[in-house]
Amino acid sequence: MVESESSGLPHTERLEDLYLKALREKIRKIKELEQRVKKLEEVNRSLEMEKKLMERQRLKLEREVRSLRKEIEKMNAPPLITGTLIELLPDGRAVVKSTTGPNFVVRISSKVKRESLSPGCMVAMNQRSYAIVEVLPSSKDPVVMNMEIEERPGVTYNDIGGLKEQIEEIRETVELPLLRPDLFEKVGIEPPKGVLLYGPPGCGKTLLAKAVASQTKATFIRVIASEFVRKYIGEGARLVREVFQLAREKSPSIIFIDEIDAIAAKRLDDSTSGDREVHRTLMQLLSEMDGFDPRGDVRIIGATNRPDILDPAILRPGRFDRLIEIPLPSEEGRYEIFKIHTRRMNLSDDVSLRELAKLTEGATGADIRQICIEAGMFAIKEGRDYVSNRDFLLGIEKVLKKELGAKTQEGMYF
């Protein structure tokens, strides 16, 4: 179009044409440039993004380096020595007994708060100067820490047969003072401090304590007295102290000391050094029991099947002042126990628990449990999925070593 116009036009017009052409060319170039700028801008934006990403990554890596540096520092730090603070001297220093043995007079780092230091507390000391650099939390023997029962046993009062009065009594003397201390305050008496369960083996002492443990809301600390018997002098007494301390910290609480005769046997004159250490442990126990605020929130339950060998000191009022006998079950009791242990068993119609209770004169709760298990075993042996009367009779014969003639005769005997 431009050429056809330009052919017959005067000189000036041609010039204009040329000018226009040049202008158009320029516009085209500008557009091209604009496009390039746009592209570059895009590139710029993406680079910008990348930069931000990199920046973030750099920060992350820097953080990692810092934490690794700290870790290396920690790894390289020399170990600290532990010790027990004995005395704070007026000049700002302290006497410390190190766990390696000797006592030292040491300086205290300014980082350690003075108020947190008290004689008897555990401290950490620099290895070279022995200066106190840290106060450690009071340490308890892991043995003691493990005595607190966190997983409550799944035993309820309904799982105990024939000990209604005893259950009532233990709830009155152990749980009531913890739950309703006001009642005792109003009447003006001190609730019994300790309850001792005694009676022949296998009649439910430990079982009763388990039920208390699972039903009470108080902290339950369970100790087997023989755990207090230690190799080194003073260790047993220390454990007793720590158990009672734990109980006080976590009050309201119940301490259950099973098989207490292991440490509370009568003190005799002709004793060995081992016996004397056990006696020291007992003395610590006695003094801990005396040291309580009587209406305090710590109750003690002891259990033994040898009350006759107990030291009279432990039975005097103010210590174990309530004795609860857990006797051999009566016929009614045996019936109840049979009921409990056959709850989940598949019994045939000919089984009469009343009759079984009659036949098991003198059996303990543990015996009855064993009889039920044996009866079940006989049923399994014969490939049945129900337990018959004869199985129970065989069980009684096996466990109580009684002759009922169950082997020769089939079926009913009564």
Q: In the 3-class helix/strand/coil scheme, how is 285-332 assigned residue by residue?
A: HHHHHHCCCCCCCEEEEEEECCHHHECHHHHCCCCEEEEEECCCCCHH
What gap in Å lies between CA 177 and CA 201, rounded to an integer? 28
Residue number, 206 or 284, with CB nearest to Mg ion: 206
Residue 356's nearest CA partner among 397, 307, 321, 408 is: 397
What gap in Å lies between CA 311 and CA 303, rounded to an integer? 14
What is the contact surface with ligand ATP in residues (CB under 6 A)?
160-163, 201-207, 305, 329, 337, 340, 365-366, 369
Residue number, 125 or 359, with CB nearest to ligand ATP: 359
161 binds, among ligand ATP, Mg ion, none (CB under 5 to 8 A by kind): ligand ATP
Residue number, 222 or 322, with CB nearest to Mg ion: 222
Rounded to a whole number of angstroms, the minimum distance from the CB of residue 323 to ligand ATP is: 15
- Using CB atoms within 10 Å of the CB of residue 120, give its burial: 0 to 12 exposed, 13 to 18 middle, 19+ buried: exposed
> Which residue's CB atom is positioned nearest to ligand ATP?
365
Residue number, 81 or 195, with CB nearest to ligand ATP: 195
Rounded to a whole number of angstroms, the minimum distance from the CB of residue 307 to ligand ATP is: 11
The region of 121-129, 137-145, 205-213, 348-356 touching Mg ion under the rule CB under 5 A is: 205-213
Sheet of 103-106, strand order: 103-106, 94-98, 81-88, 122-125, 132-135
Q: Any contact of residue 364 with Mg ion (CB under 5 A)? A: no
Rounded to a whole number of angstroms, the minimum distance from the CB of residue 199 to Mg ion is: 10
Q: Any contact of residue 304 with Mg ion (CB under 5 A)? A: no
Rounded to a whole number of angstroms, the minimum distance from the CB of residue 334 to ligand ATP is: 9
Binding residues with Mg ion: total (CB under 5 A)? 2
Q: Any contact of residue 206 with Mg ion (CB under 5 A)? A: yes
Residue number, 50 or 332, with CB nearest to ligand ATP: 332
What gap in Å lies between CA 294 and CA 192, rounded to an integer? 8
Residue number, 337 or 359, with CB nearest to ligand ATP: 337
Chain positions contacting Mg ion, by CB under 5 A: 205-206
